[in-house]
Amino acid sequence: MTLEAADRLALGDLVARYALHADRREIDAMAGLFAPDAVLVLPDAPGELDPVRTFTGRAEIAATLGALHGVPVTFHALAGEVFDAGPEPGTATGEIACVAHHLSDREDGAARDLVWHCRYTDAYRLDGGTWRFARREQRIDSIETRPVRRRRHG
């Protein structure tokens, strides 16, 4: 099985909307990108870079993604995406590379950028004619901290 061009475009839109909703703190919209019974598996950074924390269903997923409200500014840059047909009709898989910037202020008032170089391993499923995440696992390849000269507030 192969994916049609329209499916590849829709899957690319799905992962881009996830990043955009994260940056806008639109948590309910992010959770809505997942199938009702979806699973999200995240690392426990900085100690654990592999996916170890599991959240099932939109309510649990929304609750954990709400942690983004604690970061003043984020910027998720998609660095690459590959999609393949899944094992059954109406399914697909993907590997997404991302650089996630998390800007905040230190106690001394200087700004910093906590940068995660990460990869998502995804399983997608058609749900009512719309592609949604069925499973999303995040792995962090590296973490770095950068000084920031100036950042936008508000």
Pairing of strands 130-148, 34-44: parallel
Report whether pLDDT(55) > 70: yes
Supply the pLDDT for residue 108.
83
State the average pLDDT over residues 31-42: 98
Question: Would you tell me how many other CB atoms lie within 10 Å of the CB of residue 135?
Answer: 19
**H helix runs in the chain, sequence order:** 5-24, 27-31, 57-65
Name the token pair of 40.
């999200």
* CA 132 to centroid of chain Cα atoms: 13
| pTM more than 0.75 | yes
Q: How far apart are CA 107 and CA 104, in angstroms?
A: 10
Residue 132 in contact with residue 38, Cβ under 8 Å? yes
Non-local CB neighbours of 134 within 8 Å, separated by 6+ positions: 34, 35, 37, 38, 39, 91, 123, 124, 125
Question: Per-residue pLDDT tens for 56-71?
Answer: 999 999 999 999 999 9
> Residue 115 has what pLDDT?
97
pLDDT tens per residue, range 74-103: 999 999 999 999 999 999 999 999 999 999
Tokens of 62: 């929304």
pLDDT band at 154 (very low <50, low <70, confident <90, very high): low
